[in-house]
């Protein structure tokens, strides 16, 4: 029996990268997976991959920066499966690279809307449903930049620090309601987005930032998320767990 047998799990940004890896890992551990993405083609491809491996998954298109869409995602999940046990709030963006004094307000608003407000909206409606279930587990995507600066990415850094604070607040408020909330802080991960925007030398330079001298993989982050989503971490809440190959240790 898998770690998440008979559980219903939701993943935002499940069409690619870490989101896809987590959706696949949830299904492998026995969960029924509902995933959302703004990109329909990518989302449906993840569902196809999961079903080909014998798992159960369902796709719903949604904009994670929208409160209405976040409520709809929970409503669709409950309509299809009757409950919501696990949520991985993963959708996010980096934003433009500019120093703070040159950062456009519109760009700030867009990054904060998805990376921070979107996570709040998701949690808002997930918590409401999990209370009805009698419990649940939420994992929010932060970053190493929820702890350290990312020069020329002020909105990203601020949003990820905000996610850590949001996660801790939820954990304390819902600790006696059998609902846990944790955050993960990935370092530099080898995703399609990174590979599409960096050449080999740039990739090697990014990898060298970690004492392990390599990039992480989406699957390595997924293993951590599965642990935090399962009863294996039943006494863990309000934590911000970094997986960065040692980047923030020095």
Q: What angle do CA 32, 35, 37 make, to 5 degrees?
A: 175
Pair type for strands 136-141 and 179-186: parallel
Q: What is the domain range of residue 207? A: 8-249
Active-site position among 10, 121, 125, 156 = 156
Judged against a pLDDT cut of 80, whether residue 160 lies above it is answered with: yes
Asked if residue 180 is part of any domain, the answer here is yes
What's the structural domain count of the chain? 1
Per the DSSP assignment, residues forming a β-bridge with 137 are 86, 180
Asked if residue 124 is part of any domain, the answer here is yes
**pLDDT tens digits, 145-159:** 999 999 999 999 999
The residues, ordered by sequence, that sit 6+ positions from 91 with a Cβ below 8 Å of its Cβ are 12, 13, 19, 36, 37, 38, 64, 114, 118
16 confidence band (pLDDT: 50, 70, 90): very high
Instruction: Return mean pLDDT, the chain.
Output: 96
Asked if residue 3 is part of any domain, the answer here is no
Asked if residue 229 lies in contact with residue 9, where contact means CB atoms within 8 angstroms, the answer is yes
Q: What is the per-residue pLDDT for 196? A: 74
Q: What is the per-residue pLDDT for 1? A: 77
Query: SS3 letters for 169-228?
Result: HHHHHHHHHCEEEEEEEECCECCHHHHHHCCHHHHHHHHCCCCCCCCECHHHHHHHHHHH
**pLDDT tens digits, 165-215:** 999 999 999 999 999 999 999 999 998 767 776 788 988 998 999 999 999
d(CA 186, CA 247): 10
Q: What is the CATH number of the domain that holds 185?
A: 3.40.50.720
Asked if residue 109 is part of any domain, the answer here is yes
Asked if residue 215 is part of any domain, the answer here is yes
Query: Is the model's pTM score more than 0.85?
Result: yes
**pLDDT tens digits, 66-86:** 999 999 999 999 999 999 999
Asked if residue 1 is part of any domain, the answer here is no
Work out the number of other CB atoms within 10 angstroms of the CB of residue 13.
29
Asked if residue 193 is part of any domain, the answer here is yes
Q: What is the per-residue pLDDT for 167? A: 98
**pLDDT tens digits, 35-59:** 999 999 999 999 999 999 999 999 9
Task: State yes or no: is 156 an active-site residue.
Answer: yes
**pLDDT tens digits, 100-109:** 999 999 999 9
């Amino acid at each position: 029996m898998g770690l998440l047998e008979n559980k219903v799990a939701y993943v935002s940004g499940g069409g690619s990268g870490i989101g896809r890896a987590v959706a696949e890992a949830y299904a492998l551990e026995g969960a029924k997976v509902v995933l959302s993405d703004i990109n329909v083609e990518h989302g449906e491809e993840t569902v196809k991959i999961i079903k080909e491996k014998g798992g159960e998954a369902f796709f719903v298109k949604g904009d994670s920066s929208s409160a209405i869409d976040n409520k709809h995602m929970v409503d669709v999940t409950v309509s299809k499966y009757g409950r919501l046990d696990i949520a991985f709030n993963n959708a996010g963006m980096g934003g433009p690279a500019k120093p703070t004094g040159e950062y456009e307000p519109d760009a700030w608003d867009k990054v904060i809307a998805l990376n921070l407000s979107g996570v709040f909206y998701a949690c808002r409606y997930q918590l409401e449903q999990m209370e009805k279930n009698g419990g649940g587990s939420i994992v929010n995507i932060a970053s190493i930049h929820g702890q350290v600066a990312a020069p020329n990415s002020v909105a990203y850094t601020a949003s990820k620090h905000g996610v850590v604070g949001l996660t801790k607040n939820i954990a304390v408020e819902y600790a006696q309601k059998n609902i846990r909330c944790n955050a993960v802080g990935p370092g530099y991960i080898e995703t399609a987005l990174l590979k599409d925007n960096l050449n080999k030398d740039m990739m090697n330079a990014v990898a060298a930032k970690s004492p392990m001298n390599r990039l992480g993989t989406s699957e390595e982050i997924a293993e951590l998320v599965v642990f935090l989503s399962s009863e294996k971490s039943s006494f863990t809440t309000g934590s911000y767990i970094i997986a960065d190959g040692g980047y923030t240790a020095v």
